[in-house]
């Protein structure tokens, strides 16, 4: 890790997770939620009846909105998540809360143990700090390989991506063909703002990761995620030692 990187200390309270619920914001959320439900129903009708539609849930705020929309509407959409083995404790707590709240058992995929052992023995326990290449290799073992298993046999997958989250996510469409994985990729919340996401969570009392209140807007593996300062980009806490243009693990962009 770059020795010159200093971690920014967060402010004592995170206003982003508690937006003012103005009438305009309430109306915007209602309209976008209706549109997202319609989008999801159409996707379920097209792909869900044969079990060929799945939702990749990483338990961030956006994914919790989608979880609530899918489960409240009882749509025929599978929900899965990737457990990299290095998630924060708060994420595991949320997984248990979601299963209890909605009365479901989520499909969890783990990385291949032999591949993880080989990576760690060869490169070290925290090798991802040493170079972008090693960080992407770690993501490949812990995320990409399990994702391929999760998407096997599917014709479409749903994500909680928003265009405003990162410079690497501009130019995306609500529906696009994922050439890397060979199936349709659906992004129902693409045009939602952060305030709209949090307004939905507050209005419908949706469970969420406690780290969000501690200035973690984007949450991944514990050693690769930090809190951000007020005004920083929402993805600034992910792989903060890297250039912003490299800050993807490969789940949502083609690795070159």
Residues forming the active site: 249
DSSP run (H or E) holding 178:
strand 175-178
For residue 9, count other CB atoms closer than 10 A to its CB: 9
Q: Which residue(s) pair with 185 in the sheet?
A: 157, 176
Whose CA is closest to 58, among 111, 119, 112, 108?
Answer: 108
Q: Which residue(s) pair with 81 in the sheet?
A: 108
Beta-carbon contacts of residue 120 (< 8 Å; ≥ 6 apart): 127
CA-CA distances (angstroms) from residue 99 to 29, 42, 59, 107?
Answer: 25, 25, 12, 11
């Amino acid at each position: 890790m770059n020795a010159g990187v200093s971690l920014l200390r967060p402010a004592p309270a995170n206003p982003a997770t508690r937006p003012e619920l103005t009438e305009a914001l309430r109306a915007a959320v209602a309209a976008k939620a209706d549109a997202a439900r319609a989008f999801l129903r159409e996707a379920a009708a097209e792909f869900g009846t044969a079990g060929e539609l799945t939702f990749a849930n990483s338990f961030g705020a956006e994914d919790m909105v989608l979880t609530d929309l899918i489960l409240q509407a009882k749509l025929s959409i599978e929900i899965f998540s990737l457990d990299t083995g290095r998630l924060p404790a708060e994420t595991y707590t949320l997984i248990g809360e979601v299963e209890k709240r909605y009365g479901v058992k989520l499909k969890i995929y783990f990385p291949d143990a032999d591949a993880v052992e080989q990576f760690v023995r060869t490169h070290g326990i925290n090798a991802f700090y040493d170079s972008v290449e090693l960080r992407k290799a770690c993501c490949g073992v812990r995320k990409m390989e399990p994702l391929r298993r999760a998407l096997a046999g599917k014709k479409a997958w749903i994500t909680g991506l928003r265009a405003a989250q990162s410079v690497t996510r501009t130019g995306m469409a609500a529906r696009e063909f994922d050439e890397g994985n060979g199936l349709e990729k659906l992004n129902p919340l693409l045009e939602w703002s952060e305030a709209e996401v949090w307004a939905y969570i507050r209005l419908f009392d949706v469970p969420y990761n406690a780290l969000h209140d501690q200035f973690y807007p984007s949450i991944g593996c514990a050693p690769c995620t930090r809190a951000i300062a007020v005004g920083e980009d929402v993805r600034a806490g992910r792989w903060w030692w890297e250039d912003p243009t490299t800050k993807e693990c490969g789940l949502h962009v083609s690795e070159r």
